[in-house]
Amino acid sequence: MRTSGDGATTNKVGYYGSREIPAKARQCCCAGLSESWRNYLRIRAACPTSSVRRPTSVLRSLLYLLLDQEPSLMSYVRKKFAHAGKQLFEDVNQWDALSKILANILQDSSRPNTFLIIDALDECETNRDQLLELLVQISSSYSAKLIVSSRNWPSIEKAFRASTQKLRICLELNHESISSAVSRYIDHKWADHLSDAISLATSEPIDDLHDDGTVHQFLSKKYLYWLEALGLLRGIPEGMIAMTKLETLLEKYDGSRFFDLVRDAHRFILSHGWAIGNAPIQAYASALIFSPRRCIIRNLFAGEEPDWIIIKRAMAEDWDACLTTLEGHSNRLTSVVFSPDGCRLASASDDRTVKIWDAATGRCHTTLEGHRSKVLSVAFSRGSQRLATGSYMAGAKIWDATTGYYEATLEGHGYGHSNWVRSVAFSPGSQRLASASNDKTVKIWNATISHGQATREGHTDEVCSVVFSMDGYRLASASLDKTVKIWNATMGHCEATLEGHGNWVVSVAFSPDDQRLASATYDGFIKIWDARMGGCQATLELDKNEEDEYIFHFEKTGARLRTNIGTFDLSLLPSSPPAAPLASSPQHHLLQYQGYGISSDRSWITYKGRNLLWLPQSIAQ
């Protein structure tokens, strides 16, 4: 089927006919095609029960999927129902009624391109001619595109001759292409299907999911080759998702050699997936060379390491805490936050953009562009559907976190900030948004209509951080005036000013039960406060790091505080455990040898100007 520049197909119906190709192969073709488009419907006109092998059942299924994907189309059904009631869809006239509803929907010019994929048309056992007549009519009269797979029986071939815009593909004549497509499907999906089998399994163990079983043998002998294939097929993100799912489902085997291998293989693809996806041959070079010494995959495939590398960098014994590195911004990062559902990650940068990443694969979903200056802060709404950003140019913006579409700018009409917006935070119900600014104020906005509601004044210096309490009734702000203020988020008055820090306060957070408040200063001190009474319960001293950044959050129970240098047990208050010293950064030296060099961005070792060995970011630095 040919495709025009805008992605629309120039043929209205694609017909895949076959005498000998098994049904499963035809299904693979349809599945592969369906993944190429977002706006598609797929119906298989066959089912184990004979009651749904009729044209009316296929038509019902088409309508159901249309309405499920776009509930607004229900109005077409309501019109018919209001006129004739339920009986219209059950008596002898149901085919005519359903056909007219489908026709009205497909005539709707406001709908995007719709692809109707019908598999195994030949298995529709009764009144097939009636269904064929409708399909030909759709292909001739409406903008929808049809893809039909079937055995090439004479009656079906004859019916489609009436369609003037069609493309017929005989699968037997494309046997090599079909076999290649099935092989690619297996390369992508074997782990997914194995995970599905594990999920559906009863209490009895699945064959081969044990030490030295088939899956263990595959990972031990073929895993690196599979990664190379995924790299060539642009399928590394799918491989990451599959291995994540596989490790999660196999946790009951923890302690076995098999599970240890799965976990190591998962870390391997997370750490080196970006390099393999961009240069698949690096699966045998950079990925092996820069894995820990005790990495199972590295040791299993040690024979694949390139022999031209004489001196290898001394690597750590085991994997460290870093799962993967996300690359794509062209300037310094200023803020990073997970979505509440844990599926996505948003990053703000001095390059004036915000990127939304898939947390499982590290793939960038979308880049939000629109700020005219550095983006300083980013926050998800509680439902992960919206995103707020604050920037250097005194503006806060709201975006659709799914589509990346810009929704509103919070500024002007006497409500906007007059200086940098350093921090933004949604209320628990996502109806309000708080913004903190260098103009020494905190503003609360109606996030639904993008209108200012109130301004909180009281700080005597720049406000660096703002956060709502979990119940939404209070608001805490941290400032360079060395104080933390707790505000009544509804009435607007300041309930308490927490004093005691000896330096700028740059970050603040409520515990999940709203009983405690943590605040961090520029010079590396965290104070734990009683959020109700305002008293300081403890002071935790951290080692000052190079970036002057201190990441911290409460665990769900509120009993421990996690930081970027360790975890503090708050049940031990008022005493606190000693801070763990940060490990000193290793010194890296560039390889220099005759013919060898390093790329301008320090990401590749080169030989005579050609990229030879990719360097992970931690090593390139």
Per-residue 3-state assignment (H helix, E strand, C coil) for 549-570: CCCEEECCCCCEEEECCEEEEH
Same domain, 553 and 599: no
Residue/partner pairs of 77-84 with CB below 8 Å, 24 or more apart = 77/101
How many Å from the N-terminal Cα to the C-terminal Cα in the chain? 48
Half-sphere exposure of 197 (CA within 13 A, CB side): 12
Same domain, 154 and 19: yes
Rounded to whole angstroms, how far apart are CA atoms 124 and 54? Answer: 6
DSSP readout, 306-323?
-TT--S-PPPPSS--S--
Q: Give domain status of residue 394, yes or no.
A: no
Q: What CATH number corresponds to the domain at position 536?
A: 2.130.10.10
Same domain, 144 and 213: no
Same domain, 145 and 18: yes
Q: Give domain status of residue 183, yes or no.
A: no
Q: Give domain status of residue 375, yes or no.
A: no
pLDDT of residue 615: 79
Given 242, 272, 304, which residue is the final one in a domain? 304
Q: How many helices (H) and strands (E) does the chain have?
A: 13, 31
Rounded to whole angstroms, how far apart are CA atoms 307 and 517? Answer: 56
Same domain, 28 and 137: yes
DSSP 574: T
**Across 145-149, 175-179, 192-196, 440-444, which has the greatest mean pLDDT?**
440-444
Same domain, 28 and 125: yes
Given 127, 158, 177, which residue is the final one in a domain? 177
pLDDT of residue 572: 64
Q: Give domain status of residue 347, yes or no.
A: no
**Across 174-183, 389-398, 577-586, which has the greatest mean pLDDT?**
389-398
Q: Give domain status of residue 346, yes or no.
A: no
| Secondary structure (3-state) at 397 | strand
Q: Enter the tokens of residue 299.
A: 């040791």
Range of the domain at 259: 204-304
Given 276, 304, 332, which residue is the final one in a domain? 304
List the strands of the sheet with 610-614, edge to edge. 596-598, 604-607, 610-614
Q: Enter the tokens of residue 393.
A: 């140019």
Same domain, 548 and 594: no
DSSP readout, 475-496?
EEEEETTSEEEEEETTT--EEE
Same domain, 116 and 210: no
pLDDT-based confidence at residue 38 (cuts at 50, 70, 90): very low
Same domain, 468 and 593: no
Same domain, 598 and 568: no
At position 603, the amino acid (one-letter code) is S
DSSP 185: H
Contact 468, 427 (CB under 8 A): yes
- On the question of pLDDT at 164 being above 80, the answer is no
pTM given for the model: 0.61
Rounded to whole angstroms, how far apart are CA atoms 390 and 421? Answer: 5
Q: Give domain status of residue 96, yes or no.
A: yes
Q: What CATH number corresponds to the domain at position 23?
A: 3.40.50
> Looking at 164-235, which runs of residues are DSSP E strands?
166-170
Same domain, 568 and 474: yes
Q: Give domain status of residue 417, yes or no.
A: no
Same domain, 31 and 156: yes
The number of domains in the chain is 4
Q: Give domain status of residue 351, yes or no.
A: no
- On the question of pLDDT at 484 being above 70, the answer is yes
- On the question of pLDDT at 587 being above 50, the answer is no
- On the question of pLDDT at 608 being above 70, the answer is no
